[in-house]
A and B are shown apart, each in its own frame.
Chain A
Amino acid sequence: MTETIGKTDPPRGRETWEQLLGEATQVQGVSLGRDAWRRLRRNRTAMVAMGFLIVLASCSFLVPLLPLQSPQAQYPEERAFLAPNFETFRLLVVDGDRADEIPLTEALAKRNQKIAKYQKEFSGASDSERIVLHEKIEAEGEGKRKILNQLWATPNGWDRLLISVRLWIFGDWCVPSLCGTDDFGRDLLSRLLWGSRVSLLVGIVATLVSLVIGVIYGATAGYLGGRIDNLMMRIVDILYCIPFIFVVIFIISILDEEHIKRWLLEWGIDKTVIFYFVIGAIYWLTMSRVVRGQVCSLRNEQFIDAARTAGASTGRIIFRHLIPNLLSIVVVYLTLTIPSVMLFEAFLSFLGLGVDPPQVSWGILASEGMRVITPLQNLWWLVVYPGLALGLTLLSLNRLGDSLRDALDPRLKNR
């Protein structure tokens, strides 16, 4: 090889060869992923969509940090059905012996003062007094936690940390009700952002579950073909017909059994998390069919034959050669599955099988909005904003999905 080149071309120095080798390795080094990323970056709508999704995801992760109003504090008399406005609001709680509302920071400060006082007494106290003081300090600590519960439904440790940072930065100050308020006088903007946690999580977790099961199952069936394929697909046919609602009620009711619930909580597993898995486990069927169909047509392609000739194992062919080629169709179905999963969550919540209040999801907010939209009144913000949130997110997901599909297409590689 080198000799032929040497004959036709003028002799070259070592550097030239090294340079050529360098170029060659460079070309080889562009993996499908990196190439796709390069092409994706050039696509402006995709980048906008991705930016939106990243902002949304981080907002929903860090929502306790934002100076939002409480998503659950109710002011049904003073603040019900306020149209979007720019009047700021404060975090108010009821604490101590009185029944009227005071700012949150004030309530916390009072409790902290008491704790400080007890701690001061603690050092100079006798053992029996110490037990009493210790109990008092504990009680104040529990009181502080319960004050937060009035505004944010039982936040976990991480959320409590974020809330304390937020209180340190912003104090009681809250963003105005930019999206209006609902019939309880709760701030819609805050509810939307807190609701995004449930909706995004269900979209991601359930879709991933369905993806993993569906792709493995479908690719295996499609690749193995013959009897096994037939059997596996008939099983899918049967599962299609099993009434999902019974499956959901069944699983939820089992999880609600007191001892199972306690056992799961010991492992730190929330009912809602399992609920997402259940949805994912229901949605893998379509994915497996689509994947199987694609694999069936890919199976006869030359590159699979080549791999087989080279002695690759079945597992290697499925995972190294088939699945990457499925990416484009899988991505498209993924972008179709996420919306249906999110809507399914809304439907289940509507039936009483979903998340428990005061947790919210976009689906719940949208269906609440639909209850107030009648020819008799014009509370447009309760309809438009949840719809917009759902619509924009799913739209971005779709744009991103489409661009990813194009970017991942091996035939368009290096273009």
Chain B
Amino acid sequence: MIRFLIRRLLWFLLTLWTVFTVSFFLMRAVPGGPFEGERNTETAVKQAEERRYRINQPLYQQYAYHLGMAAGVLSEEGKFRLGFPDLGPSYRIRDYSVNQIIAQGLPVSASLGILALTFGLVVGLVAGIIASLRRQSWADTSVMLLATTGMAVPNFWMAGICIILFVFMLPLFPAAGWGSLSHLVLPAFCLGAPYAAYIARLTRTGMLEVLHQDYIRTAYAKGLPARRVIMRHALKGALLPVVSFLGPAVAGILTGSLVIEKVFHLSGTGAYFVEAALQRDYTLAMGVVLVYTVVLYTMNVIVDICYAVLDPRIKLQ
């Protein structure tokens, strides 16, 4: 177990470094720069800005500088220090550093994500189990129909319909914003619904797969009650595909969603993934990518541990 974690930690550092390097050069290979706007700036102004943010330096120097800062061994002035990773100033939201921007946005995204995930997990699992046990019944058909619809409908479409229905026709929730629990109901539902649909389908498939296995037949043959067989034995096996889906899903959901944040005016980090890229805010884009990498990697390690817990045949290596 300890050896497994140490090995994963080394891989983790390697992954972070690779992601950093690839993203760094990919970003700078894309046309356009962070200091361009509708009004064309004169060369002198642009150069002064580029000097301030060190964009005028050769690429390898910029790379070393930003890598040093992100690794926590260089200060903004380029001097040696040891401390928390510094992702540098944002090029677009100029009054804040990338660290500050992420520190403000991540809790918002995370709390919304947790609610959406809980919703998706509970609804998805229950629906999937019911559907698999009553295969080909009306319950199965309607659950799967709903689940398919949940996946087939774009989330901006779903959010729009929800707002018309539950804000204007039935005034139950506020239209948008952040502040009270009622503000979070619609976004959490819209964010969680596709996940619920995915989980329901995966659970159903996994259950059907498992229910054919010999050990389930053995369990039934031993005379165990059906509920016990399903909850204790079948579900464990059926959960494997769900767990492996949840790894990346949790990382995605915790770091926010552009569409949901836009439609419901939430100040999470999801919008930065796209906006920072579109505005060529290199440092902020790098910041959210690294945060995403950290969350994703952690989730994947947890998924591997869960696998080992759920399936005794799998050993952590």
**A interface vs B, CB < 8 Å?**
230, 234, 237-238, 240-243, 245-247, 249-250, 253, 286, 289-290, 293, 297, 300, 329, 332, 336, 339-340, 343, 346-347, 351, 363, 366-367, 369-370, 373, 375, 383, 387, 390-391, 393-395, 398-399, 402, 405, 411
Nearest chain-A residue to B204 (Cβ)? A402
Contacts A243-B23, A387-B157: A234 and B15 contacting too (C-beta < 8 A)? Answer: yes
Bound CA span A402–B143, Å: 14
Contacts A250-B26, A411-B212: A243 and B277 contacting too (C-beta < 8 A)? Answer: yes
List B contacts of A289 (CB < 8 A).
244
Bound CA span A394–B149, Å: 8
Does the CB pair B153–A286 fall under 8 Å?
no
Among the stretches B55-63, B72-80, B225-233, B291-299, the one at the interface with A is: B291-299
Bound CA span A393–B160, Å: 21
List B contacts of A387 (CB < 8 A).
153, 157
**A257 CB, nearest partner CB in chain B, Å:** 9
Q: Is the interface of B mostly helix, strand, loop or mixed?
A: helix
Does the CB pair A293–B244 fall under 8 Å?
yes
Besides the known contacts A253-B31, A286-B248, A373-B161, 11 further A-B residue pairs in the complex with CB atoms under 8 A apart: A234-B11, A241-B293, A242-B26, A243-B273, A249-B277, A366-B154, A367-B156, A383-B157, A383-B161, A405-B205, A411-B212
Nearest chain-B residue to A246 (Cβ)? B26
List A contacts of B26 (CB < 8 A).
242-243, 246-247, 250
List B contacts of A375 (CB < 8 A).
164, 168
**A241 CB, nearest partner CB in chain B, Å:** 4
Chosen A-B contacts, 11 in total, with CB atoms closer than 8 Å, are A238-B15, A241-B15, A241-B297, A246-B285, A249-B277, A367-B157, A369-B157, A370-B156, A373-B160, A398-B151, A402-B144
Does the CB pair A336–B151 fall under 8 Å?
yes
Fill in one digit per residue for B164-192: 1 if any A CB lies within 8 Å of its CB, else 0. 10001000000000000000000000000
Does the CB pair A246–B30 fall under 8 Å?
yes
List A contacts of B44 (CB < 8 A).
none
Nearest chain-B residue to A250 (Cβ)? B30
Bound CA span A243–B27, Å: 9
List B contacts of A373 (CB < 8 A).
160-161, 164
List B contacts of A238 (CB < 8 A).
15, 18-19, 22
Does the CB pair B152–A395 fall under 8 Å?
yes
Bound CA span A241–B156, Å: 24
**B138 CB, nearest partner CB in chain A, Å:** 13
List A contacts of B14 (CB < 8 A).
234
Q: Is B83 an interface residue (CB 8 A)?
A: no
List B contacts of A339 (CB < 8 A).
151-152
Within 8 Å by CB of B289, from A241, A250, A297, A391, lies A241
Which of A237, A369, A393 counts the most chain B CB atoms within 10 A? A237
Does the CB pair B154–A343 fall under 8 Å?
yes
Bound CA span A375–B212, Å: 51
List B contacts of A243 (CB < 8 A).
23, 26, 273, 277, 285, 289
Contacts A240-B296, A246-B285, A363-B154: A395 and B19 contacting too (C-beta < 8 A)? Answer: no
**A25 CB, nearest partner CB in chain B, Å:** 29
**B106 CB, nearest partner CB in chain A, Å:** 16
**B13 CB, nearest partner CB in chain A, Å:** 12
Nearest chain-B residue to A226 (Cβ)? B317
**A218 CB, nearest partner CB in chain B, Å:** 12
Nearest chain-B residue to A231 (Cβ)? B11
Taking CB atoms and an 8 Å cut-off, the chain B residues in 139-163 that contact chain A are: 144-145, 148-149, 151-157, 160-161
Does the CB pair B145–A395 fall under 8 Å?
yes
Within 8 Å by CB of B205, from A332, A347, A367, A390, lies A332
Contacts A242-B23, A332-B201: A390 and B164 contacting too (C-beta < 8 A)? Answer: no
Bound CA span A336–B197, Å: 10
List B contacts of A363 (CB < 8 A).
154
Q: Is B300 an interface residue (CB 8 A)?
A: yes
Does the CB pair A394–B19 fall under 8 Å?
no
Nearest chain-B residue to A371 (Cβ)? B160
Does the CB pair B27–A336 fall under 8 Å?
no
List B contacts of A286 (CB < 8 A).
248
List B contacts of A245 (CB < 8 A).
273-274, 277-278
Does the CB pair A394–B152 fall under 8 Å?
yes
Bound CA span A243–B272, Å: 11
Bound CA span A297–B27, Å: 39
Contacts A245-B273, A246-B277, A370-B160: A237 and B149 contacting too (C-beta < 8 A)? Answer: no
Q: Is B198 an interface residue (CB 8 A)?
A: yes
4 closest A-B pairs (Cβ-Cβ)? A394-B152, A241-B293, A375-B168, A245-B277
Does the CB pair A394–B148 fall under 8 Å?
yes
Within 8 Å by CB of A370, from B31, B157, B198, lies B157
Bound CA span A241–B273, Å: 11
Does the CB pair B151–A237 fall under 8 Å?
no
List A contacts of B300 (CB < 8 A).
237
Bound CA span A226–B284, Å: 37
List A contacts of B201 (CB < 8 A).
332, 336
Taking CB atoms and an 8 Å cut-off, the chain B residues in 106-124 that contact chain A are: none
Taking CB atoms and an 8 Å cut-off, the chain B residues in 221-278 that contact chain A are: 240-241, 244, 248, 259, 273-274, 277-278
List A contacts of B27 (CB < 8 A).
246
Q: Is B45 an interface residue (CB 8 A)?
A: no
Bound CA span A198–B198, Å: 25
**B207 CB, nearest partner CB in chain A, Å:** 13
Bound CA span A395–B292, Å: 32
Does the CB pair B292–A241 fall under 8 Å?
yes
**B244 CB, nearest partner CB in chain A, Å:** 6
Does the CB pair A391–B149 fall under 8 Å?
yes
Nearest chain-B residue to A297 (Cβ)? B313
List A contacts of B293 (CB < 8 A).
241
